[in-house]
RNA sequence: GUGGCUGUAGUUCAGUUGGUUAGAGCACCUGAUUGUGGUUCAGGAUGUCGUGGGUUCAAAUCCCAUCAGUCACCCCA
């Protein structure tokens, strides 16, 4: 009989992990609050059509990585593989655009993609990200990129590299792709198979190919989309970089940076860290001026980024090996009566002072309980046995100094108030 | 979906050219201290050697398959 284990590509977060996750999440929440972004939480599953329309049918995500199923009522549903489309769906559904001209939103949530797991990639993973919906102006692009950079900086991540590019407005996409195909037709046979397929299906993505031979051919023959964008697009990009310069954000203009999802327009960017390995992207994002309209809303420009939580933890180079105290006080009891009384007193201490108190429920020996108290890293142990109960006192032991004193039971909870204020 | 590497105790790993009772550190438990932890000392428990088949007198060890983990490709966070 095989034991059931977590599904491939999914992970349990144990207390040892969650303590670390919560620290990071708290910093993110605080960071977002300071920037005036409000949290949004959307359902883990959506109508499959949302992703078909939002992400693009020919993308890898939609064509082969989604967890989709038909439920008992015949609805076609999908576990969200990304969060921009759901957030935009919610934005439209709740007519958030009518409340104010600009909505600044952020999220920390889990996503699902059926890929082969490897370092920095799971089937269920977590992202935090922001979506600023409503501003067409370069200031908004700059704010988003600055925030992405700054949050990694506050986390102390080393080896950061920001790459940015512009793929222009949607109107120039088709004419550009036509010239790109023309330019490559003569050398098509020299490209790798996937590149040859992409020429027709998703030509922009040619630039993502890591095959050195393909790259060489592209360098020689392929025109960059950046050189085909309009003057307006170019000045938009210039404003974005000017603000980044002013903010002291280091970046590289990477003309080959085109991103994988169909909805991007104008600015695209990515932050990588050299500490990560093969999956080196910490976060990616850009402007998506057509998506709101695409999903049935009023034409509204937007910018955002999505950042991988698991990759952030890898970049920390820290598996959460911190020694955290799980409790402040261990309530050691010996015998049935003392244990019962101890439950009442422990609760009194919790209620009065809000400190964490752990009671004994294993009926262990004193030695075993002391060892447990030490393992938990508590500062105090309250000892209550028959002897103490008879005398109406409890022994309070300070685990650092090993000193102990007798405290009358009716003064026990007050005793910790004094100590807590030291 | 494709390829490489790895599966031995809770965990990290050792286990010689196949050889009979499969080991160590850490962790855990008990005792020294009949009611006092973290140090020390003494002792203890724990394994379908990932699973299934094959070769052999004999398999943790060799072969095949399968599953799982991991890294990389693809792609992305």
Chain B nucleotides near the protein (CB, 7 A): 1-3, 28-31, 33, 35-38, 48, 68-77
Domain that holds residue A123: 15-169+229-316
Alpha-helical runs (H) found in A319-365: 336-353
| Strands A265-273 and A76-79, sheet pairing | unpaired
Do A250 and A278 lie in one domain? The reply is yes
Q: Answer yes or no: is A307 within a domain.
A: yes
Tell me the C-alpha distance between A402 and A379, whole Å.
Answer: 10
Q: Do A254 and A347 fall into the same domain? A: no
Give the residue from A177, A203, A169 showing the smallest Cα distance to A58: A203
Token representation of residue A369: 């309980």
Q: Which of residues 237-266 of A touch strand B (CB under 7 A)?
A: 259-261
Q: Is A356 left (phi over 0), alpha (psi -120 to 50) or beta?
A: beta
Q: CATH no. for residue A411?
A: 3.40.50.800
Angle (deg, nearest 10), helices A212-221 and A173-185: 110
Do residues A334 and A310 share a domain? no
Q: Is residue A180 part of a domain?
A: no
Residue A396 lies in a domain: yes
> Is A85 (CB) below 7 Å from strand B?
no
Residues A134 and A261 occupy one common structural domain: yes
Q: Does residue A282 approach strand B to less than 7 Å at its CB?
A: yes
pLDDT recorded at residue A319: 47
Give residue numbers, 342 to 371 of A, with CB < 7 Å from strand B. 364-368, 370-371
Question: Å from A117 (CA) to B3 (C1')?
Answer: 14
Residue A199 counted as domain residue: no
For A14, residues 6+ apart whose C-beta sits below 8 A from its C-beta are: none
Is residue A3 one of the residues assigned to a domain? Answer: no
A80 touches strand B (CB under 7 A): no
Per-residue pLDDT of A228-260, as tens digits, reads 899 999 999 999 999 999 999 999 999 888 876
Tell me, yes or no, whether A259 and A360 share the same domain. Answer: no
* A176: in domain: no
Q: Do A390 and A250 share a structural domain?
A: no
Dmax (CA) of chain A: 97
d(CA A31, CA A119): 27
- Tell if A223 CB is < 7 Å from nucleic strand B: no
Domain end residue (candidates: A272, A288, A316): A316
Q: Tell if A56 CB is < 7 Å from nucleic strand B.
A: no
pLDDT computed for residue A279 by the predictor: 76
Say if residue A59 is in the same domain as residue A98: yes
Question: From the Cβ of A327, is strand B under 7 Å away?
Answer: no
Instruction: Say if strands A76-79 and A68-70 run parallel, antiparallel, or are unpaired.
Output: antiparallel
Which pLDDT tens digit goes with each residue over A181-201? Answer: 888 777 777 777 777 777 776
The two structure tokens encoding residue A152: 């990694």
Mean pLDDT by 10 residues, chain A (422 residues): 76 86 95 97 96 86 91 95 96 96 97 91 95 97 97 90 91 84 78 72 72 73 87 95 96 86 88 80 93 94 96 76 75 94 95 93 94 93 94 94 93 76 42
* Strand B close residues, chain A 379-408, CB < 7 angstroms: 381, 383, 385-388, 395, 397, 399-400, 402, 404
| Statement to judge: residues A73 and A144 lie in one domain | yes
Helix (H) or strand (E) holding A396: strand A393-398
Helix H or strand E segment including A45 = strand A45-47
A19 CA – B30 C1', rounded, Å: 33
Angstrom distance (rounded) from CA A76 to CA A326: 44
The pLDDT, as a whole number, for residue A210 is 67
Q: Per the domain annotation, does A179 fall within a domain?
A: no
Q: Which among A109, A110, A108, A105 has a CA at the least distance from the CA of A94? A: A105
* Coil, helix or strand at residue A70: strand
The answer on A154 and A257 residing in a single domain is yes
Beta-carbon contacts of A422 under 8 Å, excluding residues fewer than 6 positions away, are: none
Tell me the CATH number at A147: 3.30.930.10
- Which domain-ending residue is among A266, A284, A316? A316
State ipTM.
Answer: 0.84
Angstrom distance, A48 CA to B49 C1': 47
| DSSP state string for A129-192 | EEEEES--SHHHHHHHHHHHHHHHHHTT--SEEEEEEE---GGGHHHHHHHHHHHHHTTGGGS-
Q: How many CB atoms are closer than 10 A to CB A166?
A: 27
Q: How many domains does chain A have?
A: 2
Distance A2 CA to B31 C1' (A): 38
Domain boundary among A316, A342, A371: A316
Query: A357 and A286, same structural domain?
Result: no
- Is the C-beta atom of A321 closer than 7 angstroms to strand B? no
Q: Are residues A292 and A345 in the same domain?
A: no
In a domain, A195, yes or no: no
Nucleotide showing the shortest C1' distance to residue A398 CA: B37
Claim to verify: residue A335 and residue A289 sit in the same structural domain: no
A422: Cβ under 7 Å from strand B? no
Q: CA of A115 and C1' of B74: distance in angstroms?
A: 10
Predicted pLDDT at A322: 53
């Amino acid at each position: 009989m095989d034991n059931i284990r977590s599904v491939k590509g999914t992970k349990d977060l144990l207390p040892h992990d969650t303590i670390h996750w919560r620290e990071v999440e708290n910093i993110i929440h605080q960071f977002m609050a300071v920037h005036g972004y409000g949290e949004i939480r959307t359902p883990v599953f959506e109508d499959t059509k949302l992703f078909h329309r939002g992400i693009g049918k020919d993308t890898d995500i939609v064509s082969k990585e989604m967890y989709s199923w038909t439920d008992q009522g015949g609805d076609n549903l999908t576990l969200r593989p990304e969060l921009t489309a759901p957030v935009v769906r919610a934005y439209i559904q709740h007519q958030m655009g009518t409340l104010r001209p600009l909505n600044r939103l952020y999220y920390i949530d889990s996503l699902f993609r059926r890929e082969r797991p490897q370092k920095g990639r799971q089937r269920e993973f977590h992202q935090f990200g922001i979506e600023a919906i409503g501003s067409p102006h370069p200031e908004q692009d700059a704010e988003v990129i600055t925030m992405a950079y700054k949050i990694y900086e506050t986390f102390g991540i080393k080896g950061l590299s920001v790459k940015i590019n512009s793929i222009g407005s949607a109107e120039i996409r088709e004419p550009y792709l036509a010239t790109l195909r023309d330019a490559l037709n003569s050398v098509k046979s020299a490209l790798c198979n996937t590149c040859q397929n992409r020429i027709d299906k998703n030509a922009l993505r040619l630039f993502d190919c890591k095959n050195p031979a393909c790259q060489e051919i592209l360098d020689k023959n392929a025109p960059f989309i950046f050189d085909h964008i309009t003057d307006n697009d170019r000045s938009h990009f210039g404003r974005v970089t000017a603000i980044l310069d002013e903010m002291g954000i280091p970046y590289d203009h990477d003309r080959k940076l085109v991103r994988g999802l169909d909805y991007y327009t104008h600015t695209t960017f990515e932050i990588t860290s050299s500490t990560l390995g093969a999956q080196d992207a910490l976060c990616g994002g850009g402007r998506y001026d057509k998506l709101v309209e695409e999903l049935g809303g009023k034409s509204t420009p937007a910018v955002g980024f999505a950042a991988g939580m698991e990759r952030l933890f890898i970049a920390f180079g820290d598996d959460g090996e911190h020694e955290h105290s799980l409790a402040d006080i261990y309530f050691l009891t010996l015998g049935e009566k003392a244990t019962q009384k101890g439950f009442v007193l422990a609760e009194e201490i919790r209620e009065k002072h809000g400190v964490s108190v752990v009671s004994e429920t294993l009926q262990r020996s004193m030695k075993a309980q002391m060892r447990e108290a030490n393992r938990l890293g508590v500062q105090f142990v309250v000892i209550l046995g028959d002897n103490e109960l008879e005398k109406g006192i409890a022994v309070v032991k300070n685990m650092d100094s090993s000193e102990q004193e007798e405290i009358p039971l009716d003064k026990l909870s007050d005793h910790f108030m004094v100590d807590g204020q030291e």
